Amino acid sequence: MAVCIAVIAKENYPLYIRSTPTENELKFHYMVHTSLDVVDEKISAMGKALVDQRELYLGLLYPTEDYKVYGYVTNSKVKFVMVVDSSNTALRDNEIRSMFRKLHNSYTDVMCNPFYNPGDRIQSSPGGPYSRVRIQSRWALLPVSDPVQVGPTSCVRSSPAGPLITW
């Protein structure tokens, strides 16, 4: 089960962080921020080794006793970090890759929104479908409640406070 998802800007400030058990929110923020050092090390190692630049998935960044931290970086150096519960041993590497691809597609949709200013925090409505994230059947990243499908821009709604993500 994914317990925390973070989108980190190129300059290493958080654009979006959401954790499921809110009582451990500070712990997950700490895990995400400490994983940025590992992400930077892996990016610099990939640059020196001249590895295929299309490989965006960084893999397991580091495990802890209770959680595993995975990373993904876009071509524009935006980083995605996902903290997964270690007790889920059935979760394989290609399912994590798939979740990151879906997250990257959702991030791309947010960037395509004309009402979003790049670099601003990505906000989710408190009662929105991604206020809690869980992994359901076939380990796909799914919202708790289904968003209303209105058209190609249904993933983002605008509000006076900024864009609301409703993936």
pLDDT (tens digit per residue) in 69-78: 999 999 889 9
- The predicted structure's pLDDT at residue 54: 65
- The predicted structure's pLDDT at residue 127: 46
Tens digits of residue pLDDT in 96-138: 999 999 999 989 988 998 888 888 888 775 544 444 344 333 3
Band of the pLDDT at 31, cuts 50, 70, 90?
A: very high
What residues does each domain of the chain span? 2-122
* Whether this model's pTM surpasses 0.85: no
CA-to-CA distance for 160 and 163, rounded, in angstroms? 8
Tokens representing residue 110 in the block: 């947010």
Pair 70, 59: CB distance under 8 Å = yes
CA-to-CA distance for 79 and 118, rounded, in angstroms? 14
Q: What's the fold here for domain 2-122?
A: Beta-Lactamase (3.30.450)
